[in-house]
Amino acid sequence: MSAQDMSAQDTRRQGIHAAGGLAPRPGAASRWRVIATQALNEVGMALRNGEQLLLTLVIPVVVLIGMTHLPNDVVGHSPVIDAAAPGVIALAIISTAFTGQAISTGFERRYGVLRLLGSTPLGRSGLLVAKTFGVLLIEAVQIALLSVVALVLGWQSAGSWLAALVVVVFGTAAFSSLGLLLAGTLRAEGTLAVANGVYLLLLALGGVVVPASRLPGFLAPVVSLLPSSALGDGLRDVLLHGQGLPLHSLAILTAWTLLAGALTARTFRWS
């Protein structure tokens, strides 16, 4: 503002410059509007972030296409695409609920964003709800894209999509809890390294796209208890083998959700 503007007659002052222009009029927007606004903001930021897109969309699509060139005995099923598609959907869920969420939340914590948003009408609980909706929305985009690519590659799914959706929700809960556990305790760089490292490790050996039962004998019993294996097997049970609700997988995912959720509630630091 220039000195001339400052010395202008009060009659020229209007809007927020006028007397009373900044007068208090506090009030929150409706709860659903606040949460929807934040959830869409979370999705928008994730879709504008190149590294996040690489993680959540490009790598799963590349893995899906790449797997169709593998020999049948790696996944233990023919045609490979039918086994690959549920596994890659599981991978996509891990990339969003765990890796993407951990990294973004870790940096938001470091930069005080969590603290500032917690002080607005959104609040801490609203922020967590919005993040969860944001993750589910991104997963919907991922599943839609991967399904189209898989269908083009000849995927024929079995089972009920409703049962698959239940597995997706349970897997999201488990991996969100684990992601927030990292984000709320480690330094932002630590979260970045661990979240990416764990993602790659699970991709290779976590029973996600390659079932635990196809891994070397000594690994299989351990890996089959991991949430990644439970999520991958659960989706394969439904979409590949046409089973109903995979209760064994859901139980493992629930146990991880409770464990990580309880730890997160105890240890999460907002700044």
Summarize as ranges the residues that interact with another protein (CB under 8 A).
Answer: 1, 6, 15-17, 19-29, 33-34, 37, 41, 45, 48-49, 107-108, 111-113, 115-123, 270-271
Nearest distance from C-beta of residue 170 to another protein, angstroms? 30
For residue 159, the SS3 value is: coil
How many Å apart are CA 55 and CA 51, to the nearest integer? 6
Nearer to another protein, 14 or 218 (CB): 14
Q: In one letter, which amino acid is 133?
A: F
Nearest distance from C-beta of residue 93 to another protein, angstroms? 24
Asked whether the beta carbons of 177 and 128 are under 8 A apart, the reply is no
Nearer to another protein, 72 or 271 (CB): 271
For residue 192, the SS3 value is: helix
Nearest distance from C-beta of residue 5 to another protein, angstroms? 10
Asked whether the beta carbons of 261 and 252 are under 8 A apart, the reply is no
Nearest distance from C-beta of residue 228 to another protein, angstroms? 29
Nearer to another protein, 33 or 248 (CB): 33
Nearer to another protein, 41 or 267 (CB): 41
Nearest distance from C-beta of residue 106 to another protein, angstroms? 12
State the residue for tokens 């869409």.
40
Nearer to another protein, 49 or 147 (CB): 49
Sequence-ordered list of residues with C-beta below 8 angstroms from that of 209, at least 6 positions apart, any chain:
63, 67, 75, 84, 87, 88, 90, 91, 203, 232
How many Å apart are CA 236 and CA 265, to the nearest integer? 32
